[in-house]
């Protein structure tokens, strides 16, 4: 929550339209006119589209004010417009002001796999004692992180912030806003998502290390002990390092792991002489990583281990991320948000645990550069072990299908897109099937997952 005075003073902007009341207050901010909520401020950012073209639409959908670089014609009289040199810079300046006003402790989370699930797990564990501000969806960049802090209220007691990386210095800059006391690095696999945008895996690891380098000396760096590249980052921080995982030398360790496929996961957590049982509604053995990180963050911020473990059972499953959905006689493992080789292999491992007929719908894994062919071949080999039916979506996925056929999987198909996949599945799916849907975000396979559990009859 913030005022018009906060916005104008922080940004150095000027009100050029509208008639504000003296008590003008706002509940948050947005840059997307399609999802604006009443009482928010719309920031007209320039990205793939020019946000100035959508100011009127944002106002019509409930935005109370807009931050712009230039005047926008045709707005209603009650719309408040603030002109600034740069809406993106104004967004950050406002977020910095609100962060200064409420210096609550923060947990920063990064990694190439599992950031969002870990964020939800940490928020659930800390929620046992605190009111938590957390990153919405995957708002983990120079736009999304400041927008998160625009929702900061005086009643919030801790922040849980996901941070992504594309270029060196990006996470360091976000840390200047987030000011984390606890930093978590999840996984940095050999074939990470978006590899084509970065020069090397080593460069990615160095970028992720900016998070733990920003921690204070009395902070805590939680590093995945089961990932050699992550645990090797320990010298990059002056904070206390806690290794978590299933490795024998992990200080925060999972033992007796019982992965129950779509029914979830159970394990025993051992930490500083304590032993607690953890039950997660999330599928897949890899979910234990998120839960352990959450327990470590909770312990660092004063939440007893047993309370945090109980709270993990209430974790909010992120949409389209290993989300188990049921409808029309089918069970859909909806992991359609995005796809990297490591994430696809983890999802196939969950499917392999299923006793029903298993259908894997695997879309192209994009932005892998020179790694693409080998990565799709590896997925094909794993699909042959894990699925009874494989549907490849897109030209790159054809490589996976051909490899799976060569490995002995007989029931395989290749389709051009999600719409064609739906037509095929309507024909071949059987009641009781478990269908995994996984692919890069631009393929929009979330629509396929929605259709499979929605009104479409199979």
92 found inside a domain: no
- Tell whether 186 and 78 lie within a shared domain: no
- Tell whether 60 and 109 lie within a shared domain: no
What pLDDT is recorded for position 370? 81
458 found inside a domain: no
Residue 304, both tokens: 């007893």
- What's the rounded Cα separation, in Å, for the pair 224 and 212? 13
- Tell whether 288 and 342 lie within a shared domain: no
318 found inside a domain: no
- What's the rounded Cα separation, in Å, for the pair 220 and 329? 46
- Tell whether 436 and 296 lie within a shared domain: no
- Tell whether 191 and 116 lie within a shared domain: yes
Residue 142, both tokens: 């120079």
DSSP states along 15-26? EEES---TT-EE
Domain final residue pick, 57, 85, 113: 85
- Which residues are CB-contacts of 39 (< 8 A; sequence separation ≥ 6)? 25, 26, 27, 28, 62, 64
- Tell whether 375 and 438 lie within a shared domain: yes
- Tell whether 241 and 303 lie within a shared domain: yes
91 found inside a domain: no
- Tell whether 297 and 201 lie within a shared domain: yes
Range of the domain at 44: 2-85
- Tell whether 291 and 361 lie within a shared domain: no
Render pLDDT for 178-209 as a digit per residue (tens, 0 to 9). Answer: 999 999 999 998 766 555 456 688 889 999 99
Q: Which residue has the tokens 């393929």?
A: 443
Render pLDDT for 302-342 as a digit per residue (tens, 0 to 9). Answer: 999 999 999 999 998 888 989 999 988 999 999 999 898 98
Supply the CATH number for residue 79's domain: 3.40.1390.10
Using DSSP's 3-state secondary structure scheme, residue 400 falls into helix
Enter the pTM of the model.
0.90
Q: Which residue has the tokens 């990694």?
A: 111
367 found inside a domain: yes
- Tell whether 147 and 288 lie within a shared domain: yes
- Tell whether 307 and 354 lie within a shared domain: no
Count of residues making up the chain? 458
- Would you give the DSSP letter of residue 217? T
Q: How many domains is the chain partitioned into structurally?
A: 3
- Tell whether 161 and 213 lie within a shared domain: yes
Q: How confident is the model at residue 278 (pLDDT cuts 50, 70, 90)?
A: very high
């Amino acid at each position: 929550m913030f005022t018009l005075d906060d916005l104008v003073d922080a940004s150095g902007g000027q009100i050029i339209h509208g008639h504000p009341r003296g008590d003008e207050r706002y509940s948050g901010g947005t840059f997307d006119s399609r999802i604006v909520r009443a009482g928010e401020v719309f920031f007209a950012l320039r990205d793939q589209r020019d946000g100035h073209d959508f100011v009127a639409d944002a106002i019509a959908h409930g935005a109370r004010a807009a931050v712009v670089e230039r005047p926008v014609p045709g707005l209603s009289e009650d719309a408040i417009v603030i002109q600034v040199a740069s809406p993106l810079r104004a967004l950050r300046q406002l977020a910095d002001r609100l962060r200064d006003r409420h210096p609550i402790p923060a947990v920063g989370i990064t990694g190439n796999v599992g950031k969002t699930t870990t964020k939800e797990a940490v928020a659930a564990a800390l929620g046992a004692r605190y009111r938590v501000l957390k990153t919405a969806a995957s708002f983990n960049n120079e736009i999304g992180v400041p927008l998160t802090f625009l929702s900061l209220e005086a009643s919030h007691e801790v922040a849980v912030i996901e941070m992504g990386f594309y270029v060196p210095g990006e996470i360091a800059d976000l840390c200047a806003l987030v000011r984390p006391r606890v930093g978590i690095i999840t996984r940095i696999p050999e074939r990470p998502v978006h590899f084509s945008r970065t020069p090397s895996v080593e460069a990615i690891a160095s970028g992720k290390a900016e998070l733990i380098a920003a921690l204070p000396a009395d902070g805590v760096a939680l590093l995945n002990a089961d990932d050699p590249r992550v645990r090797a980052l320990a010298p990059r921080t002056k904070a206390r390092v806690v290794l978590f995982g299933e490795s024998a030398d992990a200080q925060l360790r999972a033992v007796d792991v019982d992965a129950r496929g779509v029914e979830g996961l159970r394990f025993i957590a051992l930490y500083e002489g304590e032993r607690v049982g953890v039950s997660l509604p999330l599928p897949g053995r890899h979910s234990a990583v998120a839960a352990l990180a959450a327990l470590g963050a909770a312990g660092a911020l004063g939440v007893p281990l047993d309370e945090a473990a109980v709270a993990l059972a209430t974790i909010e499953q992120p949409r389209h991320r290993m989300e188990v959905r049921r409808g029309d006689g089918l069970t859909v493992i909806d992991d359609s948000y995005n796809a990297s080789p490591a994430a696809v292999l983890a999802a196939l491992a969950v499917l392999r645990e299923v006793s029903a007929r298993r259908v894997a719908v695997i879309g192209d894994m994009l932005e892998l550069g020179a790694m693409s062919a080998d990565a799709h071949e590896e997925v094909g080999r794993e699909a042959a072990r894990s699925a009874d039916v494989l549907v490849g979506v897109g030209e790159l996925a054809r490589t996976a299908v051909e490899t799976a056929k060569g490995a002995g999987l007989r029931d395989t198909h290749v389709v051009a897109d999600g719409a064609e996949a739906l037509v095929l599945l309507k024909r071949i799916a059987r009641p009781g099937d478990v269908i995994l849907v996984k692919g890069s975000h631009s393929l929009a396979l979330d629509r396929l997952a929605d259709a499979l559990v929605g009104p479409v009859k199979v």
